[in-house]
Amino acid sequence: MNDQAERPVYMDHAATTCMKPEVLAAMAPYFSEHFGNPSSLYRFSRGSREGVEGARGEVAKALGAKPEEVFFTAGGTESDNWAIKGVAAAAKKKGGHIVTSAIEHHAVLHTCEWLAKQGFSVTYLPVDGYGRVDPGDVENAITDRTVLVSVMTANNEIGTVQPIGEIGRIAHDHGVLFHTDAVQAIGAVPIDVAAMEIDLLSLSGHKFYGPKGTGALYIRQGTRIESLIHGGGQERGRRAGTENVPGIVGLGRAIEVATADIEGHNRRIAAMRDRLIRGVLDTIPDTRLNGHPVERLANNANFSFRYVEGESILLLLDAHGICASTGSACSSGSPEPSHVLLATGLTPEEAHGSLRLTLGDANTADDIDYVLRLLPEAIGRLRRISPLTPAEKRVQEAD
Q: Active-site positions?
A: 330
- Name every residue whose Cβ is closer than 8 Å to that of residue 216 and which is 6 or more positions away in sequence: 59, 70, 71, 72, 73, 79, 202, 203, 251
Q: At what angle do helices 365-385 and 310-318 cross, to 10 degrees?
A: 130
DSSP helix/strand/coil, 42: coil
Task: Give the angle subtended at the CA of 32 by the CAs of 31 and 38, to the nearest 5°.
Answer: 70
Bridge partners of 154, per DSSP, are 161
At 126, give phi and psi (nearest 5°). Answer: -75, 170
Biggest alpha carbon–alpha carbon distance for the chain: 78
3-state SS string over the chain? CCCCCCCCEECECCCCCCCCHHHHHHHHHHHCCCCCCCCCCCHHHHHHHHHHHHHHHHHHHHHCCCHHHEEEECCHHHHHHHHHHHHHHHCCCCCCEEEEECCCCHHHHHHHHHHHHCCCEEEEECCCCCCCCCHHHHHHHCCCCEEEEECCCECCCCCEECCHHHHHHHHHHCCCEEEEECCCCCCCCCCCCCCCCCCEEEEEHHHHCCCCCCEEEEECCCCCCCCCCCCCCHHHHCCCCCCCHHHHHHHHHHHHHHCCCHHHHHHHHHHHHHHHHHHHHHHCCCEEEECCCCCECCCEEEEEECCCCHHHHHHHHHCCCEECECCCHHHCCCCCCCHHHHHCCCCHHHHHCEEEEECCCCCCHHHHHHHHHHHHHHHHHHHHHCCCCCCCCCCCCCC
